[in-house]
Amino acid sequence: MNSRNNLVAALATCAALACVAVRAQESEMAVPPAPQNYGGIQVINGGVDLDQADAIKRIQSRYPLRVEISGRGGNYYVADRLRLIQRGEVLAEIPDAGPWLLLDVPPGRYTLAGDFGGTEVRRDVMVSTEGVKVPMVVPSSVD
């Protein structure tokens, strides 16, 4: 019976150590940028470094409109500004936007207009109740 008690105690210790290790790892994870308010729309903007990009990806399912700005070769870009437009009205204008953006918007049709050093890239999107991830590809002429 004594060896069984030792085994149970050893297993309990291992379980406790595993919990401590998981909590330590979670506390070391990067935190996503705080939401900012642009024209009444909550926006997470960032992801320039890998840790911040991972943090944004972890919470992306909470946001209906998820935008990833990249070039054809897979390089990530930051727009000088990104405008969210609906029916001709600019709802939000986000400076230094990207490469990852999470926008808390209701379902509907929108246009994203990104300015990249004098070149504008537009993308029409339809946000459903399930949300949508939008790849915004910057033309090679921007480089």
- Of the chain, the end-to-end C-alpha distance in Å amounts to 72
Q: Give strand pairing partners of 67.
A: 101, 134
Q: What is the pLDDT of residues 93-126, one digit of tens each?
A: 999 999 999 999 999 999 999 999 999 999 999 9
Residue closest to 114 by CA, chosen among 61, 52, 70: 70
- What are the sequence ranges of the domains in the chain? 1-30, 36-142
Radius of gyration of the chain (CA): 21
CATH topology of domain 36-142: Immunoglobulin-like (2.60.40)
Amino acid identity, residue 133? K
Instruction: Please state the rounded mean pLDDT for residues 37-60.
Output: 95
Q: Which pLDDT score is estimated for 142?
A: 75
Rounded to two decimals, what is the model's pTM?
A: 0.79
pLDDT confidence of 8, banded at 50, 70, 90?
Answer: very low
How many residues make up the chain in this entry?
Answer: 143
